Amino acid sequence: MTAYSKGLEGVVAAETKMSFIDGEKGVLEYVGIPIGDLAKNSTFEETVFLLWNGRLPKAAELAAFTAEIRKHYELPAGMEQRLLALPRDAKPMHMIRTMVSALSMHDQNPDANDAPSLRERAISILGRVPTLLAYFHRYRSGMPLVRPDTSLSIAENFLYMLNAARPTATMAKAMDVCLVLHADHGLNNSTFSARSVISTQSDMYSAITAAIGSLKGPLHGGANEGVMVMLNEIPSVEAAEKYVLDKLSRKDKIMGFGHRIYKSYDPRATHLKVLAKQLASDTGNMALYEKSTAIEKTMETAVAAKGIYPNVDFYSATTYHCIGLPLDLFTPVFVIARVGGWAGHVIEQMGDNRLYRPDVLYKGPHNAPYVPMAQR
């Protein structure tokens, strides 16, 4: 047996051609292209094509891929009634985990695991997750549903269905950049969950459902909501330093900081910080942005020596708030983006599959007596 590594730190468990991370230098590339170049020049749809195909699309290929996704903006018959029967106070991450799982029952062939079938299922989930989120938000708020508009991109259409109004070009671009930045990230916990599930030859829906369950945790994607809760708890910019130092002295974690792989600045946070500042200025939320930078400054003095810097979730909280997203949709929006990564990893795993089955170090007793019930 190889050495035990708690939390699987340092264990290489898969091969990928999708994303590369250098945690010391703060580098992230999708298929070799620096994340900053994609954030500036690409779109979410093009980025997903890149991740799934290992190359950028030609114009006609991107048009065909985009059209294919848009065909799936509408929910399958029966899904809307299912959604409208959910408790209105259900948490959106529980809702989306459940409804992605439910989509499998509206598929004639949910277990098809050949590459073209996996792609078809991936595209349909990618198209439908934003609709499920927007419909659920409007339903729980007592507002009429807004049907998807297939002339719009995933980012634009999501904001349109959520708010019943087309987003401004700035907001649509900001949303799209967030989706690009969150699309894939090596063998993070939720991606590992997806690959582990499909390695049993289960199905795309089960793999994505498991990944959503993983992403929800506050140590993973759930941290972006934790950041917003923290920002709301801090009454002013001046109060940020004491708040952070008090938490650190109690050995509490500061949400949105630290990463298993990055021991320097997360390059996604670099871009989100710029975006957050611009949107905060546009929307009159500079106090929120300044609270964030005050937290970052305190963390830099207190713990940067340990390699703890802002991660992707820190400035995405301010960004999402400025885009106008409700707090409990922050992590679900991460789902929209990461379906691109998860599905790509599922396809990659099935291209060269071997069942994931790690070992465990047994620490219990041996040859213990079976004590009859009356004598215990």
Catalytic residue annotation: 259, 313
Question: How far, CA to CA in Å, does 177 sit from each of 198, 296, 332, 353?
Answer: 29, 22, 16, 32
Q: Which are the contacts of 314, defined by CB distance < 8 A and separation ≥ 6?
A: 227, 255, 256, 257, 269, 272, 292, 296
Question: How far, CA to CA in Å, does 25 sit from each of 22, 274, 299, 300, 307?
Answer: 6, 19, 19, 17, 12
Tokens found for residue 57:
């699309």
**Closest separation between CB of residue 315 and ligand ACO, Å?**
12
Considering only the stretches 10-18, 80-88, 104-112, 219-227, report the one whose residues sit in contact with ligand ACO under the rule CB under 6 A: 219-227
**Closest separation between CB of residue 93 and ligand ACO, Å?**
14
CB of 359 within 8 A of CB of 1? yes
**Closest separation between CB of residue 181 and ligand ACO, Å?**
11
Considering only the stretches 71-79, 169-177, 196-204, 251-259, report the one whose residues sit in contact with ligand ACO under the rule CB under 6 A: 251-259
By CB under 6 A, is residue 255 in contact with ligand ACO?
A: yes
The one-character DSSP state at 30 is E
By CB under 6 A, is residue 254 in contact with ligand ACO?
A: yes
Angle CA(16)–CA(20)–CA(24) in degrees, nearest 5? 140
CB of 28 within 8 A of CB of 185? yes
By CB under 6 A, is residue 220 in contact with ligand ACO?
A: yes
Among 257, 315, 330, 342, indicate the residue that binds ligand ACO (CB under 6 A). Answer: 257
Candidates 167, 183, 154, 178; CA nearest to 274 is 178
| Residue with Cβ nearer ligand ACO (103 or 223) | 223
Angle CA(259)–CA(207)–CA(131) in degrees, nearest 5? 90
Among 92, 148, 258, 341, indicate the residue that binds ligand ACO (CB under 6 A). Answer: 258
By CB under 6 A, is residue 341 in contact with ligand ACO?
A: no
| Residue with Cβ nearer ligand ACO (66 or 190) | 190
> How many residues contact ligand ACO, by CB under 6 A?
20
| Residue with Cβ nearer ligand ACO (140 or 220) | 220
By CB under 6 A, is residue 273 in contact with ligand ACO?
A: no
By CB under 6 A, is residue 221 in contact with ligand ACO?
A: yes
Contact positions vs ligand ACO (CB under 6 A)? 7, 188, 219-221, 223, 253-260, 303, 306, 308, 311-313
